[in-house]
Amino acid sequence: MIGSRIGIVTDSSSDLPPQLAGQHEIEVVPLTIHFGKRRYVDGHDLSTKAFWEKFQKTREPPTITPPSVASFKEAYQRCGSRRAEEIVVLCSSNEEWGGSYPAAVKAVEEVDLPVRVVDCATTSIVLGMMAIAASEAAHLGAGTDDVIAAAHRNRPELLGTVDAVEILRKNRRIGPVQAFLGRIVNTRFLVTINRGTVEVLASSPTRTRSLTTLLEWLGDRSDARRMALVHGDGVDVAGVIARAQDHVPKFAPIVILAGPVLGIQTGPGFVGFAASRG
């Protein structure tokens, strides 16, 4: 893409892989992942695939800490080196989503460029698709207010299915009774990302039925301008896409392996669809 007057910055909770972020000239500031006493810079010291390998072997759940102020300052400077005159930052103040907002705001004091930091209260591909929409608007010559409006207008809906009942219980998304019954009958739970939290919407008796519900939901949004598939480790992605194309023949999604922030909340086997009509 040709350089834009407005630079777009987000953090690695957006789950944008380097190639996709580079294609849209989006600066991605990395979070830090902690496995016990070991710390890893997301996407640098630990790839998303390596995160899942460690996650499934560990007994102690990993934790996430936000990027440093210096990391955001460096991202702003890189935007400036590409001749950006202003910067829009899309991130979240919610600690479960990485909590990047305070550091992003603090870093504004250390650069000469005007920077607008937007608390999007979301994560993973929802945040990533908002960043892509902002970048596209910026490259079309939109002003700062219109770039931010484009991000909000293109905020996708997301519906996913979670296999990992125990992870939902540990994260207090379901209660102990729901978790017990879920283990007994092998229940799957349908979830969405709703303003800063993973929200459980309903349960389904089997994985097949929960996936069918997702596909029906996707079919109702066949007119969406942009679609994405985000998944945890161990998912037959090709099979899911093939089934989705039965409902939406032109389905050609952005395909994302969920990173640590969403992965910790949903566990392996997660499958989610995102659709934006903006």
Q: In this predicted structure, what is the pLDDT of residue 181?
A: 44
Q: How confident is the model at residue 278 (pLDDT cuts 50, 70, 90)?
A: confident
**Residue 209: pLDDT over 90:** no
Between 200 and 78, residue with greater pLDDT: 78
**CA–CA distance from 42 to each of 5, 94, 185, 215, 263 (Å)?**
28, 18, 36, 31, 13
- pLDDT: is 166 or 76 the higher one? 76
pTM assigned to the model: 0.91
151 half-sphere exposure, CB direction, 13 A CA radius: 29
162 vs 13: CA distance, rounded Å: 19
**Nearest CA-CA partner of 120 in 143, 87, 153:** 153
pLDDT value for 97: 87
pLDDT higher than 90, residue 44: yes
Model pLDDT for residues 120-164, shown as the tens digit of each residue? 999 999 999 999 999 999 999 999 999 999 999 999 999 988 875
Q: How confident is the model at residue 88 (pLDDT cuts 50, 70, 90)?
A: very high
Mean pLDDT of 10-22: 96
| pLDDT at 174 > cutoff 50 | no
Does pLDDT of 196 surpass 90? no
Residue pLDDT, tens place only, 152-173: 999 999 998 887 556 655 655 5
Predicted pLDDT at 182: 47
* Token pair of 27 as six digits: 């600066």
CB-CB neighbours of 85 under 10 Å: 13
Residue 183 has pLDDT above 70, yes or no: no
Domains and CATH numbers, the chain: 6-31+66-153 (3.40.50.10170), 157-276 (3.30.1180.10)
For position 169, what pLDDT does the model report? Answer: 55
- What CA–CA distance (Å, rounded) separates 205 from 213? 11
Give percent above pLDDT 70 in the chain: 88
* 134-138, 233-237, 249-253: range with highest mean pLDDT: 134-138
Average pLDDT over residues 64-69: 96
42 DSSP 8-state letter:
B
What CA–CA distance (Å, rounded) separates 154 from 148? 10
Instruction: Please give the mean pLDDT across all residues of the chain.
Output: 88
pLDDT at 184 over 50: no
Residue 233 scores a pLDDT above 60: yes
pLDDT score of 104 more than 70: yes
Of 185 and 114, the structure prediction assigns the larger pLDDT to 114
Which of 3-12, 47-56, 172-181, 259-268 bottoms out in mean pLDDT, i.e. has the lowest?
172-181
pLDDT of residue 204: 72
